[in-house]
Chain A
Amino acid sequence: EIVLTQSPTTTAASPGEKVTITCLASSSVSDMYWYQQKSGASPKLLIYSTSNLASGVPDRFSGSGSGTSYSLTINTMEAEDAATYYCQQWSSNPLTFGSGTKLEIK
């Protein structure tokens, strides 16, 4: 099983600040997917195939990476971005999720 380790576990950012969340895989994966989950809601797809923005997602979000290291960047933090973020892979069965990063607004 591929283990996905996210960092930081928890972080806070001020409006306008740049935020980067990292996802490290225990083995190489071909692509990474990112979800946002707000309190009381189900997860929402943000990024697919490492760097593609899902429909309706603001372009302040971006994804990058390869091999065992991937990242999600929020270019300018907004209050509505406060949520928990998860990476996900299925290069290898079983499908696994990252450990989660809770992002708060300062």
Chain B
Amino acid sequence: EIQLQESGPGLVKPSQSLSLTCSVTGYTITSGYDWSWIRKFPGNKMEWMGYISNSGSTNYNPSLKIRISITRDTSKNQFFLQLNSVTTEDTATYYCARFGYSEDYFDYWGQGVMVTVSS
């Protein structure tokens, strides 16, 4: 069974960096698919942040391009999110998800991790 699990600090101070890990079991991230980060803000708005492909290339939402980095550790079957210079507007629940290989949808999601940006 494919499972994704987010982990990371639940509280980050303004101007600092937010760093999250997505651990994947049941599928090797280099075998296929794209591996994404998505966030849901208070009030229900959802935003796709970006992905790292199975080959290691990245694609970021232009709205975040100067602040975001998605990397991976293939030996641990994990991928990572780093979001720099956070503000209170980055307070959200962050999800990692697998993006379809030949279809444009997310088929497996993590359970999500709530991150609050506050001093």
Q: Interface range on chain A: under 10, 10 to 19, 20 to 34, or 35 or more?
A: 20 to 34
CB contact list, B68-119 vs A, under 8 A? 95, 97, 100, 103-107, 109-112
A102 touching B44 in the complex, CB below 8 Å, given contacts A43-B109, A94-B62: yes
Across the interface, name the chain B residue whose C-beta is closest to A94.
B61
Q: Which residues of A contact B106 (CB under 8 A)?
A: 35, 43, 45, 88
Complex Cα spacing A4 to B104, Å: 16
B109→A99 contact, CB < 8 A:
no
Contact of B48 among A31, A35, A49, A97 (CB under 8 A): A97
Which residues of chain B from 31 to 62 have any CB-CB distance to chain A below 8 Å in the complex?
44-48, 59, 61-62
**CB-nearest residue of chain A relative to B49?**
A94
Taking CB atoms, residues of chain B closer than 8 Å to A95 are: 48, 61, 104
Query: A residues within 8 A CB of B111?
Result: 41-42
Secondary structure call for the B interface: loop
**In the complex, residue of chain A having the shortest beta-carbon distance to the beta carbon of B105:** A33
Interface presence of A96 (CB below 8 A): yes
| Cross-chain contact of A45 among B48, B59, B107, B110 (Cβ < 8 A) | B107
Per the bound structure, the CA–CA distance linking A33 and B99 in Å amounts to 12
The answer to whether A94 touches B63 (Cβ under 8 A) is yes
Beta-carbon contact of B104 and A31 below 8 Å: yes
Contact present for A100 and B48 (CB under 8 Å): no
Most chain-B CB neighbours within 10 Å: which of A1, A35, A43, A93? A43
Q: Which of A90, A93, A100 contacts B44 (CB 8 A)?
A: A100
Within 1-55 of A, Cβ neighbours of B (below 8 Å) are at 1, 31, 33, 35, 41-45, 48-49
Interface check A61, CB cutoff 8 A:
no
11 A-B residue pairs with Cβ-Cβ distance under 8 Å, sorted by A, are A42-B109, A42-B110, A42-B111, A42-B112, A45-B105, A86-B46, A90-B104, A94-B48, A94-B62, A95-B104, A100-B46
